[in-house]
Chain A
Amino acid sequence: MAAPAPFLLKAHRIQAHHARLNVLTNTLSFQSATIEGMQIARTADGLTMSISSGGVVTVGHTKIQTTVLRNLASIGSFRNKRDVLLLLAGSTLPRLELSRVEFTIDGYLTTSHADIPAMTLSMK
């Protein structure tokens, strides 16, 4: 069971390649992706720690594990709504495009590498 201490991944746009969803393990994975307008935030005790990038983030093979993946369809991030059905059916999408992404991650995010230009890590 994932820890009940989520962090929020926001992005203007995510373009992922070879994306796949595993509903049994609540895992979304992709071979590579570019992320525009990325911000990762964690709020606790009235304070927010955030990591943001002022450029296009590039990540390699990535896995995101969270219990809220099953709610993806409700957030309306999928540029092509048919992709939701394909992912839920277990298909691997050669190209997945998400916009105005707000991803609550209560598990983990791992990636083979991440290149983050203009990164700022701050407390507010």
Chain B
Amino acid sequence: MRFRNARHLRNKRATRATGLTAVAAACAMTLMPASVPRAGTILPGRVPFTLRASEIVAQNAVISILGESMSFSSATIQGMTLTYSAGGHTYTIAVNGTASAGQTVIKTSLFSTLKDDIGSLFHVQSPSVATVLADALIQKPIPTLVLTDVNLTIDTSMSTQAIQMPGMQMSTS
């Protein structure tokens, strides 16, 4: 009986020690967080392209901070330009009219840095910036997302089910 009690006590101490170690590790992680890039910082080794638009009205938009992505079921894009600068030259696709995109997914590491500043990438007109940020944290779809003066740096990819671009011009300079 005494032996069993001693063993029980030893197990209890071991469990407690393990628990304390875990708590200490958690505290250490809390006290020393990994360095998070500043909002708007491109990760090293990525050469981005830039999506600019005077206005984007997106339906069923989902911004995922953890997934580093933004998706929407459809969108209209006014004043759209895509630019890619490398080797001292800039490659541009400009649309003279309103582009219409179907189901679209934009992946960029920038979304991972937006925990405190979703407005650093674009001007959210509707709903509020706070709502967009809150929805981005839980990946909640936003029925209609209106952005203006968009200047979005994309360092991974953009794919769309279909896109119609009136008055499209591709050029290098």
Which A residues are in CB contact (< 8 Å) with B166? 112-113
Categorize the interface residue count of chain A.
20 to 34
Q: What are 12 A-B pairs with beta-carbon distances under 8 A?
A: A5-B89, A42-B86, A49-B91, A108-B171, A109-B170, A116-B162, A116-B164, A118-B159, A120-B159, A121-B154, A123-B48, A123-B157
* Inter-chain contact B91/A121, CB cutoff 8 Å: no
In the complex, B165 has a CB within 8 A of chain A: yes
In the complex, B158 has a CB within 8 A of chain A: yes
**Which residues in B have some Cβ–Cβ distance to A below 8 Å?**
46-49, 82, 84, 86-89, 91, 93, 97, 154-173
In the complex, A80 has a CB within 8 A of chain B: no
Interface SS of chain B: strand
| Chain A, residue nearest B107 (CB) | A122
- 8 Å CB contact of B161 from A6, A47, A112, A118: A118
Q: How far is the CA of A119 from the CA of B51 in the complex (A)?
A: 15
Task: Convert A1-19 into 0s and 1s, putting 1 for each residue whose CB lies closer than 8 angstroms to a CB of B.
Answer: 0010111000000000000
Q: How far is the CA of A120 from the CA of B162 in the complex (A)?
A: 9
Contact of A7 with B172 at beta-carbon distance under 8 Å, contacts A49-B49, A118-B162, A120-B157 already known: yes
Contact of A45 with B163 at beta-carbon distance under 8 Å, contacts A3-B89, A113-B168 already known: no
- 8 Å CB contact of B172 from A6, A115, A120: A6
